[in-house]
Structure 1
């Protein structure tokens, strides 16, 4: 017993690093540096002035001679060159609204297809899934015509035409899909594993439909809801097509479309493009998405695991 106590009291020898381990760490470090290089370049380019960036030879790791914080101030505070504050506010509003809408429609849609029984349910669900096979680019023109001919909006009625809901906030409020198809599919897969006896027991205790929905079934779907919220927020935050094609007013633009508007100066002869500001705005889009993914990636894995889908 004493000898065992003496052995346990001795410090354990540190594991020796083998050449294979050192090589593996070096490879991982190199790959990580390559993956992070665009982010490093964007951060360093943000310290350049417009004139210095255009007049200097850009190296692998650009270092400005006269660093400036004007581009980062433009990202946070907004400037006369770009109404970044408006773009950022629009992006935040649209992301929060679309995420909340996706959570609600996904849960209700999944509940309908998983718990209710009605004729043609399976056929309707297959038709809903088939809409996911339509590429987004093909739907741009039909969606534009749908917005432009939206009845009783923007001068449209049964006799004359108008602009519909184009270039209005309605593009963001009702312009998205009526239901989140992928979210509906995931909620349906998850709810099908929940026994119906849980609903029946709650109803026998006097719970109504809404109480069963939001106090019993919804808490069981929190990992799925987190997955839907994260993916929808990332997709909406980075969405470029909707504001670019369906709005014109500067007050309705989001951060991704603002970059395109600044880049449009390339088409103007003799115009000096503010590349450092454009790169800094791109950094403002990238960092929030990276933070969301980094801190909530476990919910993505957990949400998919709860649906029973193996990838």
Structure 2
């Protein structure tokens, strides 16, 4: 049996298959090289890094784990623990609200009937066509003029909620338009008879939503959770533009802060630490995508969207 299978496999093998595998292997190595470089650079100290002519694979003469310790446990050079904590809190908080609002909004547009429903949904979709950079200044003014906060009163100005945790608590969560669209598309494929049968059996609206319909949307919810978590984890704009205090920074914004530390004459920028922090941002995203990519594909497949 084994010989038959081996013979069949050998008969199907073609030289072009080997070339294809070698080509894909080469592409994979090219894509992985930046990650390998970041890991190797993390073993440098800032003095040796700036004084060394780096090769394709830089090897330090005096390897150190200080940068990796700073990434995991924090250090005096950078409050990495605070940055990491802020990033985790933001990611969990925004992901929860994205799931909550996306599912409820998707349910409203898929199941409820009211005047202007389709028009309102089109308006929400239209907001996705506006580049996010165009909203930076209006959002900044909105936060700065937030009433009864930061010295703002009816007739006087102030700082509003700028440079406070309210930026993350209020400004972070919002209706996830893409998530709402996906939930709506998926719920419309669920027969309305399920709702009617649940109502006949005595299920109320809350039980119908969270005990019957929600479990059917788990692939979609997983997709929304993964994409929201990755987007929040890598978010640079919010902490950079709307906060200035060091204790409010996240990992992406902290990298920019560390890059500007050496702006004074004679100062040496700690590039190995910056690269290691970048590695700390990249690895979680890669791991999440590697382990949960099937949910991304399954979530999009359940909505009927073809990529």
Q: 1:128 to 1:177 in 2, by over 3 A?
A: farther
Matches within 5 A, 1:199-238: 199-238=195-234
The 1-side partners of 2:51 and 2:153 are apart by: 55
The 2-side partners of 1:74 and 1:9 are apart by: 53
Determine whether 1:255 maps to 2:255. Answer: no
The 1-side partners of 2:299 and 2:120 are apart by: 25
TM-align CA RMSD: 1.3
Unaligned runs of 5+ in 2: none
SS at match of 1:67: coil
Partner of 1:128: 124
Partner of 1:175: 171
The 2-side partners of 1:290 and 1:10 are apart by: 40
Q: 1:55 to 1:114 in 2, by over 3 A?
A: same
Q: Deviations over 1:121-161 (max 9, x none)?
A: 11100111111111111100000000000111222121211
Q: 1:129 to 1:177 in 2, by over 3 A?
A: farther
Partner of 1:294: 290
Alpha-carbon deviation of 1:22? Answer: 2.4
Determine whether 1:105 maps to 2:101. Answer: yes
Matches within 5 A, 1:134-149: 134-149=130-145
Q: 1:98 to 1:9 in 2, by over 3 A?
A: closer
Q: 1:98 to 1:162 in 2, by over 3 A?
A: same
The 1-side partners of 2:233 and 2:3 are apart by: 56
- After alignment, is 171-180 or 12-21 more displaced? 12-21
Unaligned runs of 5+ in 1: 1-7
Matches within 5 A, 1:60-139: 60-139=56-135
Partner of 1:4: none
SS at match of 1:257: helix
Partner of 2:24: 28
Larger radius of gyration: 1
SS at match of 1:194: coil
Q: Which residue, out of 29, 32, 50, partners 1:54?
A: 50
Alpha-carbon deviation of 1:105? Answer: 0.3
Alpha-carbon deviation of 1:249? Answer: 0.9
Alpha-carbon deviation of 1:9? Answer: 8.0
- After alignment, is 186-195 or 19-28 more displaced? 19-28
Alpha-carbon deviation of 1:269? Answer: 2.0
Determine whether 1:189 maps to 2:197. Answer: no
TM-score norm. by structure 1 comes to 0.95
Q: 1:124 to 1:44 in 2, by over 3 A?
A: same
Q: Deviations over 1:173-211 (max 9, x none)?
A: 110252110000000001111111111111111111100
The 2-side partners of 1:25 and 1:203 are apart by: 56
The 1-side partners of 2:128 and 2:72 are apart by: 37
Kept in 1, the 8 Å contact 2:95–2:228? The answer is: yes
Q: 1:9 to 1:101 in 2, by over 3 A?
A: closer
Partner of 1:3: none
Determine whether 1:306 maps to 2:296. Answer: no
The 1-side partners of 2:301 and 2:91 are apart by: 25
